[in-house]
Structure 1
Amino acid sequence: MTDHTALVVGGTSGIGLATARLLARRATVHVVGRTERPIDPELIPHWADGGDPGQIGAVVDKIGQIDWLVVSLSGAEGAGPIAELDVAMLRRAFDAKFWAHLTTVRAALPHLAPTGSITLIGAVSARAAMPGTAGLAAINGAVEALVKPLANELAPIRVNGVSPGLVDTPWWNGFPPEQREAYFAQMASRLPTRRVATAEDVAEVVALAATNPNLTGTVLEADGGARIAALT
């Protein structure tokens, strides 16, 4: 029986689910999702909106002490040329990711073990300077900007971030398969790694950030070299 408890908010699909499965090898893992769905039997599911203080507060109260908190929340909005971005849409996108991250962290704070950790998931758009990603850059930049000040403020609780690049997750399922595959092939040819990441690739980095006792105040890049490549 493990002595650690992990909570992955946004843990029912994509990077969050892959991370939860990995952490389940060494912890009791609770996952939070907004929509009820079948989940792995080794994971303990909760259904709540991470951006709702009452809902996420009720979940963490039920769990009790948390050693490793991973926040993997995101939305589907925020991309597009700046001249065409709808401000109301961009506010929704901030609500879905930045404010949901912040709300979850605040709710979990009273329950975090003194030797625990918080890991936030940003994205390479925060610094890759790709046209059409100003809104995404602002959202993910805001998430990642939390890491260093919180690492100082909350010490000895460790705070880290992970910044993925292009990852093959269900986020892309809304695109026609042919369009998605063509885009992945095009982008992979420009990445130094020459491949599109899997959720499991990124989950290994998230698990490292969450569990390594010597990491804090760090945003780990897991982007296949996207931040140094010419992707425009």
Structure 2
Amino acid sequence: MDTQRTAAAAPEQGERRAATERVVIMGGTSGIGLATAERELREGREVIVTGRDKGRLDAALERLGEGASGASLDAGDENAVKAFFESIGPIDHVVVAVTGNTAAGPFGSLALSDLRAATEGKLIAQAATAQAALKRLRPGGSLTFVTAGSSGAAIPGTAGLAAVNAAVEAMVPVLAVELAPTRVNAVSPGIVDTPWWDWLDADARRRTFDAYAEAAPAGRVGRPEDVAQAIGYLIASTFTTGVVLPVDGGSRLRPAGL
């Protein structure tokens, strides 16, 4: 992790900041995390991304270029997460975009082992990341979780997803008070076209996206860049904390099936 973005590389951002801010994006090698990394680089911040897959990490770093560095890391490994944060020095912002198993399906047949795995992969992994990051966050920095709109959508077949994401969101206002002056927020995306949906075949994915686009007031599914823009706002807005920001094209405004 020796590549850095300097003020000389981005003079317009250097004029706005006395020193380059550092952002860690856990789960930053694809989808929303990668789009966030690209946006933060454009804003003149140094970016450190992590991901489980070494090949995907290498591809992400090649795409991101100067100012980005990273580590191959399983966010579910608490000791590895602690060691990572101990190794990187002071940081200004942390975005926690890690996720786990889907735990989707009708509640009556939902395997509790899948629900446990989803809880470990998202709630526990995100909480462990936040804990490990605290000693490295500079005063006035920010911590931003990435949850999902399933937490409040009341869509049949998503009880497991809703439970896990709602648990993460429930921490936000508590941590915003407990960890102040560190700002703590979350974004809650609706359906966004990312590799997360690769568990569906192409036809099922298209049908899901088409149905969502028809129902959402915005008239389309989300793009990773939509969520990255919201995360960028939460990073930069020093007067915003304790917020769970929906980024769902307005889909929460319509009952399921309408």
TM-score band by shorter chain is: over 0.9
Which stretch shows the higher mean deviation, 19-28 or 33-42?
Answer: 33-42
Instruction: Give the TM-score normalised by structure 1.
Output: 0.97
**Residue 132 of structure 2, aligned match among 107, 112, 134:** 107
Q: Would you say 1:27 and 2:51 are equivalent positions? A: no
Structure 1 residue ranges (4+ consecutive) displaced by more than 4 angstroms after TM superposition: none
Give distance in 2, aligned partners of 1:127 and 1:230: 11
Q: 2:117: which partner in 1?
A: 92
Give distance in 2, aligned partners of 1:181 and 1:138: 26
Q: Residue 255 of structure 2 aligns to a residue in which SS?
A: coil
Could you list the per-position Cα deviations for residues 77-110 of structure 1 after superposition, in whole angstroms to 9, with x for gaps in the alignment?
2111111111111100001100000000011110
Q: Would you say 1:183 and 2:201 are equivalent positions? A: no
The within-5 A match list for 1:134-173 is 134-173=159-198
Give distance in 2, aligned partners of 1:78 and 1:228: 24
Q: In the alignment, residue 156 of structure 1 is paired with which amino acid?
A: P
Identity, % of aligned positions? 44
Which consecutive residues of structure 1, in runs of 5 or more, have no partner in the other structure? Answer: none
Instruction: Give the TM-score normalised by structure 2.
Output: 0.87
Q: 1:230: which partner in 2?
A: 255
Q: Would you say 1:11 and 2:36 are equivalent positions? A: no
Aligned Cα root-mean-square deviation (Å):
1.1
Shift of the 96–175 alpha-carbon distance from structure 1 to 2, 3 Å rule, reads same
Whichever of the two has the greater Rg, that structure is 2
Give distance in 2, aligned partners of 1:166 and 1:217: 23
Q: Would you say 1:119 and 2:144 are equivalent positions? A: yes
Could you list the per-position Cα deviations for residues 102-149 of structure 1 after superposition, in whole angstroms to 9, with x for gaps in the alignment?
000011110000110000011111111111111111000001111000
Higher relative contact order structure (alpha carbons within 8 Å, sequence separation ≥ 6): 1
Q: Is the 8 A contact 1:76 1:171 kept in 2?
A: no
Which stretch shows the higher mean deviation, 176-185 or 57-66?
Answer: 176-185
Measured after TM superposition, the shift of residue 75 of structure 1 is: 1.9
Q: Residue 192 of structure 1 aligns to a residue in which SS?
A: coil
Q: Residue 168 of structure 1 aligns to a residue in which SS?
A: coil
Q: Is the 8 A contact 2:101 2:114 kept in 1?
A: no
Measured after TM superposition, the shift of residue 50 of structure 1 is: 1.4
Measured after TM superposition, the shift of residue 41 of structure 1 is: 2.0
